[in-house]
Every structure is written in C-alpha cells, then in structure tokens.
Amino acid sequence: MIAGFKSAVTVRINALRGTPGAPVWQRNDYEHIIRNERALNAIRQYIAENPLRWHLDRHNPCRTGTDLLAREIWNLSGSPHQCPS
C-alpha cells in the first residue's frame, strides 16, 4: 500500500514539475511501524521540531553540526533499526 502511494505521489509531483522520472523520495527512506504511544509521541516531537534543526540536517549542504536530538528521538521511539546517519 505504501509503495503504491509513493509511486502515485512521485508521478503526480513529476507531472506538476515537468520532470518525468526524477526521484522524489530521499534515498534510504523507509516506513516505520508505530507500535506504541511512546513511539507515537517521539515521532510527533521529531516532526514538530525537525524544521528548527535544518541547520544540522545531514541532507543540508550547509549544515553547521550534527543533529544529536534526531538520534535521541529516534531511539526513544523504540525502533529496532538504527537511525540513518
């Protein structure tokens, strides 16, 4: 279901931009199953605070440091996966 959604969104975005076949999703993005209230709250916090930390984002070519809070929030979510580095 998620793959279908991503595909449809990609087609639509590229149609609007006039960029057929261009990638839309960040490399190595994957879905995360939210298993409990603690994980949900950690992910909500990450989403709410993420724009404030753009200067630390690994995808920002002008970043000024490392985003340790993102890793901490990710770990609080109870994810069995490592935080993307």
pLDDT (0 to 100) of residue 47: 86
pLDDT digits (tens, 9 = 90+) for 3-23: 899 999 999 999 999 999 999
pLDDT digits (tens, 9 = 90+) for 62-72: 999 988 877 77
Q: Are 55 and 64 in contact (CB under 8 A)?
A: yes
Chain-centre distance of CA 81, in angstroms? 14
Res. 1 pLDDT band, cuts 50 70 90: confident
* Residues near 82 by beta carbon (within 8 Å), at least 6 away in sequence: none
pLDDT digits (tens, 9 = 90+) for 22-81: 998 877 656 677 888 988 888 888 889 889 888 988 888 899 998 887 777 767 655 554
Which amino acid belongs to residue 17? Answer: R
Domain ranges in the chain? Answer: 1-31, 35-85
Q: CA triplet 48, 4, 46: central angle to 5 degrees? A: 10
